[in-house]
Amino acid sequence: MTIKIYPVDIEVLLKPVGQPRCRISIDDQRQDLVIEQETWIKLFYQGHNTARLSIEQYGKSDLDPSTALIIDEIKFNSLSSPKFVYQGTYYPNYPKHLLDSDSVLPHQNYLSWNGVWQLDFTVPIYTWIHKTLDLGWIYD
């Protein structure tokens, strides 16, 4: 049995508040960056099942209110929708004095604490897009 591999071009628009450090990864690709201005990050993924796009903000002091990272837009094969960003989940690492805070924040794009934002999607990407945008019935 031959497994079909599907290619996906991914573009992520990141906007900084201050100069956040982040790590963006998918599959075995990883980039460490300091975001100083609005930046498009380009990734290429090939697969046949589920993939996870992760964006981690790290290195921020718990006392620093002036640094954050905004995941503003995501494009899959040049197609964009605000729903793509809000399918992700943010897992902040709160300071010890805020441990009672919610540790899982679905539908967030503002990374104000150190932590990881993750988006799981499936390939072929057009099927995932169709379901995410609720475009009606699809034959699986």
The per-residue pLDDT for range 24-65, each reduced to its tens digit, is 999 889 999 999 999 999 999 999 899 999 999 999 998 888
pLDDT tens digit sequence for 66-95: 999 999 999 999 999 999 999 999 999 988
pTM: 0.92
What pLDDT was estimated at residue 112?
93
For domain 6-132, give the CATH number.
Answer: 2.60.60.40
The pLDDT score that the predictor gives to residue 92 is 93
| Other beta carbons less than 10 A from residue 72's beta carbon | 16
Bridge partners of 93, per DSSP, are none
- Give the position of tokens 């995941």: 71
Residue 98's pLDDT band, with cuts at 50, 70 and 90, is low
Position 100 scores a pLDDT of: 62
Supply the DSSP symbol for 97.
Answer: G
Question: Does residue 120 register a pLDDT over 80?
Answer: yes
pLDDT for position 85? 97
Residues 115 and 94: their CA atoms lie apart, in Å, by 8
